[in-house]
Amino acid sequence: MRKITENELELLRICWELKEFTAREVFEESLKTKDRKYETIKTTMERMVQFGYLERRKIGPVWLYKPKEPKEKFTQRLTRHLLHSAFNGNVLPMFTNLLKVKKYSKEELKFMKEKIEELEDD
């Protein structure tokens, strides 16, 4: 998996929300968080097509884009890549680091405990 940049990841989040879209629509949505140039967005999206994050099809004079894979599948693949590249496949140091990242809410902790219990039951 090629390392995705923070900018590409931010655009990909917008893409998952929009489902199928033009570069102009992504540009306009992206302006809500950061001042950008349309040409930069268009170039980045073309690069994301080349790297397999987006796919596109032409309808008349307009290119329509959509994410190559659903958010859940992408994040699972990204997590697996991080686990293997940064933690040599060892989940314990990764899990320990995740626990140190922030203070979790009671709801988040309850959810995590339930998921661990489900794994124990399997």
From first to last of its 122 residues, the chain has per-residue pLDDT tens of 688 999 999 999 999 999 899 999 999 999 999 999 999 999 999 999 999 999 999 999 999 999 999 999 999 999 999 999 999 999 999 989 988 888 899 999 999 999 999 998 87
Q: For position 2, what pLDDT does the model report?
A: 80
For the domain made up of 1-89, give the CATH fold: Arc Repressor Mutant, subunit A (1.10.10)
Q: Count CA atoms closer than 13 A to 46's CA, side-chain side.
A: 7
Could you write out the DSSP letters of every residue in 17-74? Answer: HHSSB-HHHHHHHHTTTS---HHHHHHHHHHHHHTTSEEEEEETTEEEEEESS-HHHH
Tokens 């097509």 map to which residue?
49
In this structure, what token pair is assigned to residue 88? 């040599």
- pTM, 2 dp: 0.79
In this structure, what token pair is assigned to residue 15? 């893409």
Domain assignments of the chain as residue spans, ordered by start: 1-89, 91-122
